[in-house]
Structure 1
């Protein structure tokens, strides 16, 4: 299993203001579903930050997202380790397969692969 990218997820009620602020640093909007927005560096597209007002299908907003090449393998490893699964593995309508797991610090990690 390999990691493709890691992004902070920031809970926000100020999506437009966040886009404008991080735009001053050179970030550009690359995805916006209203409740979730991702900004990326045009010169380094895997340098990203995501803002979320809520999560559409999960009970919490994650603290961090990790994109992996094989989310099913990652899910199996986490279940076998006894880690707390916060949101079960599922396909989402916006084109990702994902699950949420709680890390040892209490942070919620969104582990995903694009379909």
Structure 2
């Protein structure tokens, strides 16, 4: 299983103000779905620079602390389930083109594990 990217998710009540703040340091909207805006920057590495601003999670129980994109969501789910991890949201296909689930890490953070279909 390979990790493709890791994106911090910030809960916000005012995505426009937060977006304007981060625009001042070079981040710009790459995706806007109303409840989530993903900002990107140019960065200098192989992976894109990304940050998501979320007012809620449209179908999930909470706003996750971070999102990790993997190449095999089902393998990640089975690995974490078998290890006894606390699964908060079952594997499902979302209408915006991802397959995902939520899991809690050992420090209590909620992680959205996803892959693009």
CA distance in 1, matches of 2:43, 2:79: 34
Provide the secondary structure at the position in 1 that maps to 2:8.
strand
Alignment TM-score, normalising by the size of structure 2: 0.95
The aligned residue for residue 34 of structure 1 is 34
The answer for unaligned runs of 5 or more in structure 2 is none
1:88 pairs with 87, 90, 108, which one? 90
The answer for unaligned runs of 5 or more in structure 1 is none
Residues 42 and 48 in structure 2, CA contact (< 8 A), matched pair in contact too: no
The aligned residue for residue 51 of structure 1 is 53
2:110 pairs with 82, 98, 108, which one? 108
How many residues are paired up?
Answer: 115
Per-residue deviation, 1:14: 1.1
Encode CA deviations 1:44-64: one digit per residue, 9 max, x unaligned.
Answer: 562100011111111111001
CA distance in 1, matches of 2:50, 2:97: 18
Runs of 4+ displaced beyond 3 Å: 42-45
CA distance in 1, matches of 2:73, 2:25: 32
Alignment TM-score, normalising by the size of structure 1: 0.96
